[in-house]
């Protein structure tokens, strides 16, 4: 019997504006990427070669720390950081309830107890809730810099100092984000705590061609432990095993390709900030929508995501989809309500409210202004046709 010629539908083709578009970035730099791949394969430089060493130096320089350790994912960056910090069974680690499950899983993998607390209206952990959650068992605070904005690190570091707690930064979405401390110093996400954990997942501000991640630290001993843990617990210089580690090394090929991308990163970061300005202007004043406050004197966001809070969110998402705009609704079920976390009696009202209203709009440097304006006009048109809409929070989201 002859096989039927089945033509599969391409879901990408229906979108006028993609949520992310790695294909465009690849086409823009295709010759350089392919030349790099050929160079790596021709040299046979596949594991722990100079490309990885160069990448680690560049990331450390960008973040402003002594060490960067390339690993195979942002998830392993978190897990390895917890292990290197000595988090163990019986310890409690405070973390925001508004986060991806992997932030919580990294704590559980150490057999420690995650203590979920509520966030603020800017999506980042509420320092006041951190203080309320501290017990004699609390060992660390895991801060998650959401959507490309650094948490209120002055308050968090003061709390950590007062209670002798370790701080581990989940900076997966915050490479390039800055925060101005009370003493007037600008510091980068990933430079405050014992370690900073970054994801180079393909859709991040600096994305690999597959999974990859990095850990930053100023602590020499932590860096030494991390380099062993990521490579089966072995000290590669002495060839002696000091720990039961894992295979969590960043592939040299990914490092080489990231070395190409990192040259363009400053321009891509600037473009993200321009896009956020266009969104900010185009979406201002829509009844039923709360937009993030733009950068102020203490924050310089990297705009990994542009998140809005929207009334009748699911109807809006369906309308945007029908008009060729791909968006992301993140975590309709909050972390503390996920089956893997049940049963519990945790109540996080701000987190729950955001999860019911959050929409992430297209955000990547290859977006052009006409595409952004189309998103804004389409979104505005939806709310012009919906009666009885009131402001989500009565005002724009306040970001400290």
- Per-residue pLDDT reduced to its tens digit, 300-328: 999 999 999 999 999 999 999 999 999 99
Q: Is the confidence at residue 227, as pLDDT, over 60?
A: yes
- Per-residue pLDDT reduced to its tens digit, 93-110: 999 999 999 999 999 999
pLDDT for the residue 14: 78
**H-state helical runs in the chain:** 22-28, 30-43, 50-63, 74-84, 101-108, 127-133, 153-163, 220-229, 252-283, 313-322, 349-357, 369-384
Q: Which two tokens stand for residue 116?
A: 């979920």
How many C-beta atoms lie closer than 10 Å to residue 103's C-beta?
26
Higher pLDDT, 241 or 162: 162
pLDDT for the residue 385: 81
**Contact indicator for 306, 360 with CB cutoff of 8 Å:** yes
- Per-residue pLDDT reduced to its tens digit, 150-160: 999 999 999 99
Band of pLDDT at residue 331, cut at 50, 70 and 90: confident
Span 137-145, average pLDDT: 98
- Per-residue pLDDT reduced to its tens digit, 231-250: 988 887 788 888 888 899 99
CATH class of 265-384: alpha beta
The bridge status of strand 92-96 relative to strand 138-144 is parallel
Q: Which three-class secondary structure state does DSSP give residue 113?
A: strand
The Cα-based distances of 136 to 91, 155, 200, 377, 390 in angstroms read 9, 20, 35, 53, 44
- What is the Cα–Cα distance from 210 to 275, expressed in whole angstroms? 25
Band of pLDDT at residue 388, cut at 50, 70 and 90: low
- What is the Cα–Cα distance from 237 to 243, expressed in whole angstroms? 15
Q: Is the confidence at residue 392, as pLDDT, over 50?
A: no
% residues pLDDT > 90 (the chain): 84
User: Cα-atom radius of gyration of the chain, to the nearest Å?
Assistant: 22
Q: Is the confidence at residue 6, as pLDDT, over 70?
A: no
- CATH of segment(s) 24-117+126-258: 3.40.640.10
Cα dihedral 193→291→300→101 (10° resolution): 20
pLDDT for the residue 189: 98
User: Cβ-count burial of 73 within 10 angstroms (0-12 exposed, 13-18 middle, 19+ buried)?
Assistant: buried
Cα dihedral 319→323→324→330 (10° resolution): -20
- Per-residue pLDDT reduced to its tens digit, 248-296: 999 999 999 999 999 999 999 999 999 999 999 999 999 999 998 766 7
pLDDT for the residue 244: 84
Residue 333 phi, psi dihedral angles, 5° rounding:
-100, 115
Band of pLDDT at residue 398, cut at 50, 70 and 90: very low
How many residues are present in the chain? 400
Q: Is the confidence at residue 146, as pLDDT, over 90?
A: yes
Partner residues linked to 310 by β-bridges: 289
- What is the Cα–Cα distance from 382 to 375, expressed in whole angstroms? 11
- Per-residue pLDDT reduced to its tens digit, 360-385: 999 999 999 999 999 999 999 999 88
pLDDT for the residue 300: 94
- What is the Cα–Cα distance from 152 to 142, expressed in whole angstroms? 13
pLDDT for the residue 387: 63
For 94: left if phi > 0, alpha if psi spans -120 to 50, otherwise beta; the answer is beta
Q: Is the confidence at residue 399, as pLDDT, over 50?
A: no
Span 173-197, average pLDDT: 97
CA-wise closest residue to 147 among 270, 330, 25: 330
pLDDT for the residue 390: 54
How many C-beta atoms lie closer than 10 Å to residue 394's C-beta?
7
Question: Would you list the domain boundaries of the chain?
Answer: 24-117+126-258, 265-384
pLDDT for the residue 393: 44
CA-wise closest residue to 398 among 175, 157, 192, 152: 152
What's the mean per-residue pLDDT of the chain?
91
Residue 146 phi, psi dihedral angles, 5° rounding:
-80, 140
- Per-residue pLDDT reduced to its tens digit, 7-38: 444 555 678 999 999 999 999 999 999 999 99
Kindly give, in sequence order, each residue whose CB lies less than 8 Å from that of residue 3, ignoring residues fewer than 6 positions away: none
């Amino acid at each position: 019997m002859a096989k039927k010629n089945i033509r599969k539908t391409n879901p990408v083709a229906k979108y006028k504006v993609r949520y992310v578009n790695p294909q465009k970035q690849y086409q823009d730099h295709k010759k350089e990427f392919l030349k790099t791949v050929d160079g790596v394969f021709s040299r046979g430089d596949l594991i722990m070669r100079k490309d990885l060493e160069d990448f680690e130096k560049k990331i450390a320089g960008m973040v402003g720390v002594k060490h960067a350790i390339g690993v195979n994912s942002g998830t392993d960056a978190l897990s390895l950081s917890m292990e290197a910090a000595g988090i163990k069974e019986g310890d409690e680690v405070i973390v925001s309830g508004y986060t991806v499950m992997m932030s919580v899983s990294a704590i559980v993998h150490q057999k420690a107890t995650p203590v979920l607390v509520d966030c603020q209206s800017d999506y980042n952990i509420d320092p006041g809730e951190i203080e309320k959650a501290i017990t004699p068992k609390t060992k660390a605070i895991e801060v998650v810099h959401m959507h490309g904005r650094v948490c209120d690190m002055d308050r968090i570091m003061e709390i950590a100092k007062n209670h002798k707690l370790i701080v581990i930064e989940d900076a997966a979405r915050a490479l390039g984000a800055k925060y101005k401390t009370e003493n007037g110093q600008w510091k980068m996400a990933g430079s405050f705590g014992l370690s900073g954990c970054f994801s180079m997942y393909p859709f991040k501000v600096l994305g690999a061609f597959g999974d990859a991640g990095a850990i930053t630290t100023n602590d020499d001993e932590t860096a030494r432990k991390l380099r062993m843990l990521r490579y089966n617990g072995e000290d590669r210089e002495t060839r002696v095993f000091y720990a039961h580690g894992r295979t969590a090394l960043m592939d040299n090929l990914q490092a080489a390709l990231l070395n190409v991308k990192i040259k363009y990163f400053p321009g891509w970061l600037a473009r993200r900030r321009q896009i956020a300005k266009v969104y900010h202007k185009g979406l201002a004043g829509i009844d039923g929508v709360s937009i993030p406050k733009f950068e102020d004197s203490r924050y310089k966001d990297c705009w990994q995501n542009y998140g809005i809070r929207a009334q009748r969110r699911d109807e809006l998402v369906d309308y945007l989809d029908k008009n060729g705009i791909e968006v992301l609704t993140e975590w309709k079920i909050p972390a503390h309500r996920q089956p893997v976390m049940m049963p519990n009696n945790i109540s996080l009202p701000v987190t729950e409210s955001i999860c019911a209203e959050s929409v992430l709009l297209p955000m990547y440097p290859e977006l052009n202004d006409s595409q952004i304006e189309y998103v804004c006009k389409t979104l505005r048109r939806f709310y012009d046709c919906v009666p009885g809409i009131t402001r989500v929070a009565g005002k724009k989201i306040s970001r400290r």
